[in-house]
Amino acid sequence: MFDLVADVEQYPKFVPLCEDLKVRRKVQSGEGVETLVADMTVGYKAIRENFTSRVTLDRARLRIDVEYVNGPFRYMENRWTFKPAGEDQCDVEFYINYEFKSFALGMLMGTMFDRAFRKFSEAFEQRADAIYG
């Protein structure tokens, strides 16, 4: 599951609202840690927003941290943790916290983003079923 979540370039294929994602930079920092800087485009109907994030993939600690860099948010952070739960199984924890810079954009997109983020776990479960069976 760590590999599935870490493969951010595949997100437009299955993540709700994600229309495009481009990795601008990848840096290996040793001991299983890789940092990516990525631009994501999210959209709903006629609304499109782009934002940049720094993604730290820490394979040794089975953790993925996402830090907001630039875009329509005042702040955004999310974290994935993976805990082994038996043979070929793990528990996945997902945390996200965000606030839009603009009150109007928050009112317009906030509810839709909340619904989409709730569907994230379902999207990743379906993707895991499709890839790993």
Decide if 81 is inside a domain.
Answer: yes
Query: Between the CA of residue 128 and those of 23, 46, 63, 122, what are the distances in Å?
Result: 22, 30, 17, 10
Decide if 12 is inside a domain.
Answer: yes
Q: How many domains does the chain have?
A: 1
Decide if 65 is inside a domain.
Answer: yes
Residue 94: CATH number of its domain? 3.30.530.20
Which range of residues forms the domain containing residue 7?
2-128
Decide if 49 is inside a domain.
Answer: yes
Checking if the pLDDT of 99 tops 80, the result is: yes
pLDDT tens digit string along 102-120? 877 777 666 667 777 777 7
Phi/psi for 114 (5° steps) reads -55, -45
Decide if 133 is inside a domain.
Answer: no
The better pLDDT of the pair 52, 108 is held by 52
The better pLDDT of the pair 57, 108 is held by 57
Q: What pLDDT, on a 0 to 100 scale, did the predictor assign at position 110?
A: 65
Decide if 19 is inside a domain.
Answer: yes
